[in-house]
Each structure stands twice: as C-alpha cells, then as structure tokens.
Amino acid sequence: MVRSIDFAIVGAGPYGLSLGAYFAGAGANFKIFGSPMAVWRNHMPSGMYLKSEGFASTLFDPRRQHSLREFCARNGHPYADVGVPIPVELFYAYGRDFQQRLLPDLDTRHIARITAAGGGFLLRLDDGEVLRARKVVVAVGIAHYAYIPPELRELPSRFLWHTSEKRPMEQFFGRRVLVMGAGSSAVDTAGLLHQAGADVEIMTRRPKIWFNHAPDRKRGLALAYARLLKPRSGLGLGWRSYMASDLPTVFHRMPEQFRLRVTRGHLGPSAGWVSRTLVEDKVPIKVERTMRRAEVRGEKLHVTFTTPDGDEEVEADHLVAGTGYKVDLDRLEFLDEPIRQQISRVNSTPRLSRFFESSVPGLYFVGPSAANSFGPLLRFAWGAKFTSRHLTRHLTR
C-alpha cells in the first residue's frame, strides 16, 4: 500500500527547511526529504565565510524563535546583525539545529524519481520505497547546477575541479593553480589555496572583481545620510538591492524580458568583504582574460586566454573552475522526462506562477530555480522568508 501525503518538499537547505517550518506551523500534512544543509557541508570550502550579513544568513520559522541570532546567543557564538562574518561551519551547525528542533521527522533519503500519477505525483526514494504526494515543492538549491564551460569538460579530474567539489586544500601545497572566475566561490577558493601554500592566480574575463561593502564605520547623522543614499536590505546596500529584496511580487508582474535582464545583471558575481582580506596583496588577479582552450602536455596544463593585448598561454598544475551555477531543468534527472518536457521554460528555467507553480499543476519550484520569476532575491537564503510565508499561505489556506 502506497502512503499518501498532501505535500512533499524535495531538498533540505535554507528554503526547504524554512518552508517545512512554516508548513509544520500551519499543521499541513507534508514530508521533507534530503540531507539537511548538505550543500553547505559538502560543497563549500572549509574555512569560507558567508557573504551575507548575520541578519540575512538565517532560516525562518513562523514564530521567529529560531533565528541565527538566537542560536548564537544560546551557544555562545559572537553575533551581530551586521559586521560579524559567519563561518560556513557555523551556518551549517545552525541549520542542523533548526532542523532538529523544528523538523525532527525530516526524512534524509533522497528522491530518486518523480513521476506524474492520477492528478498527483509518485516519489521513489533512493531505497526503492514509493510515496504518493498531491503536490511537490522542488527546493534543491544549486547542487545540480554546477557549471563548467564546454572547453574544459574533457580535462581529466586531476587537472580540473569545480569549486563545488570539496578538496583538501593541503593537497595543493607548492602547486601552481589557476582559479577561473570572479564570484565568491572563486575568490574564497583562491584565498584558501594561498593559505595552504599553493601558488595561485585568479583569472577573470571581467574588468575587476566586485567585493561587497565592508560595514560602515560612520555614526549618527553621517550614517543616517549614507543609509538614505544606500539603504540596507537582505541583499546588501543600495536602492536596487532594496527593491529586489522587498518587492518580489511586483518583480513577478514585470515583463519577462525585463525580469531576465535584471536577474542576470544585478547581483552578479561578487565576493564578500571578508574574502577581500584573503586575496588582497596576496593572490594576483588577472582581469580581462577570456579562456579559449586548455590542454594537457606531459604533466602540465596549458591554458590559453584572450586578453586585450592578444593571446596569452599560461602553464599550471591545476585549474579550478569557479564558473558558478546555471539553472537548467534538464539537470534535474530525478524529475521524470515527460514531466520535464511539460514544464514551460524560459532559458532552461521554469516559468512560474505568482505562487511558484510551474506549468505542471501541483509542481512548484523555490530558491535559485525561481530567480527568473521572482528576481535575484531567490538566489539567497534571505529569499526563504518571503517564499515560505507566501507559499504556505497559498497552499494551506
């Protein structure tokens, strides 16, 4: 006999856990699946700091009793809403604590296959058990979407790795490593490799690396004036971030091309202010370098970049692709092919209703997969606040 539930949440990162806490608060008949906070433990470099500030690096529950601030106070960790960097290990421990307190029945099994059946869905778990759910919320974050440029995909893994693979940095002591990219994964990995004694260089096609603003030292009126010019939001400083952070439903009503442009262009690759201290005056940063090809000759890797002054060939022992993540529905192999075919898409991401529903009735997407519909907010944990409230109200009313 197949067990039936109303809602299945697939994924237990900040979005899945926050939504689970709201569903639990509303008394919904649901189950949440996945290894809690697994991405933060298995796919982020040890020693990394979050780029979001403390107040925006939290999970959400309807009674507001389980914030990062409360966890830090209870466990004696230093905390401030702004200005005290959050180590990734602390964020992981906090997420696990949140799960154990609010969602002790979470099922750590992975969903291997989702198929449509009788107006709902059948979910096959990784041990073969099958469950029926009326509605499914896909909250799988970024893990399926690591992006490696086609030119690099054939390189053997001893020469190439993506920043989402966690490798012990000590392995690279004395080795020459090129890190490609300009986002926080690239910059943090380069800084941590440098600390581990590697000879590192960052190569980016961008004209510079953008770092988030360090906390203001201003006080009183000067601070008030600065905040008027650049208000603070969960996505950082400035009016554009403020609007992206606080008006996701307005954003959803905008024309699709506008949404795509803003989501692509705003809050693109950047690194946290702590990351700056890891690389500044320590790791050479070469800008305007577009990678053309990479080949192995003997025991070395030879990478050719196009630069404003012509081609440049660089020799290295390893190349790290800090080339980020691209949402692509076809990477979600646990969704049965016929379901994936039915999902209306824009740029390989799902087109979503104002309640996160895809064109397949009963199938919802939250987190980074929903960014083209609701804006850059959905690429950050801060977006879980709006998402959990909005979706729970809709599904459990």
List residues binding ligand FAD (CB under 6 A). Answer: 10-16, 33-35, 38-39, 44, 50-52, 57, 110-111, 139-143, 184-185, 334, 367-368, 379-382
14/120 with CB nearer ligand FAD: 14
314/372 with CB nearer ligand FAD: 372
- Please provide the distance, in angstroms rounded to a whole number, between the alpha carbons at the two ends of the chain: 29
Q: How far is the CB of 22 from ligand FAD (least distance, A)?
A: 14
Q: How far is the CB of 134 from ligand FAD (least distance, A)?
A: 18
Q: How far is the CB of 313 from ligand FAD (least distance, A)?
A: 29
305/386 with CB nearer ligand FAD: 386
194/314 with CB nearer ligand FAD: 194
Q: How far is the CB of 324 from ligand FAD (least distance, A)?
A: 7
Q: How far is the CB of 42 from ligand FAD (least distance, A)?
A: 8
Q: How far is the CB of 183 from ligand FAD (least distance, A)?
A: 7
350/367 with CB nearer ligand FAD: 367
Q: How far is the CB of 174 from ligand FAD (least distance, A)?
A: 25
Distances in Å between the Cα of 240 and the Cα atoms of 57, 210, 246 are 20, 16, 10
What is the 3 state secondary structure string of the chain?
CCEEEEEEEECCCHHHHHHHHHHHHCCCCEEEECCCCHHHHHCCCCCCECCCCHHHCCCCCCCCCCCHHHHHHHHCCCCCCCCCCCEHHHHHHHHHHHHHHHCCCCECCCEEEEEEECCEEEEEECCCCEEEEEEEEECCCCHHHECCCHHHCCCCCCCEEECCCCCCHHHHCCCEEEEECCCHHHHHHHHHHHHCCCEEEEECCCCCCCECCCCCCCCHHHHHHHHHHCCEECCEECHHHHHHHHCHHHHHHCCHHHHHHHHHHCCCCCECHHHHHHHCCCCCEECCCEEEEEEEECCEEEEEEEECCEEEEEEECEEEECCCECCCHHHCCCECHHHHHHCCEECCEECCCCCCECCCCCEEECHHHHHHHHCHHHHCCCHHHHHHHHHHHHHHC
91/305 with CB nearer ligand FAD: 91
Q: How far is the CB of 184 from ligand FAD (least distance, A)?
A: 5
34/375 with CB nearer ligand FAD: 34
117/296 with CB nearer ligand FAD: 117
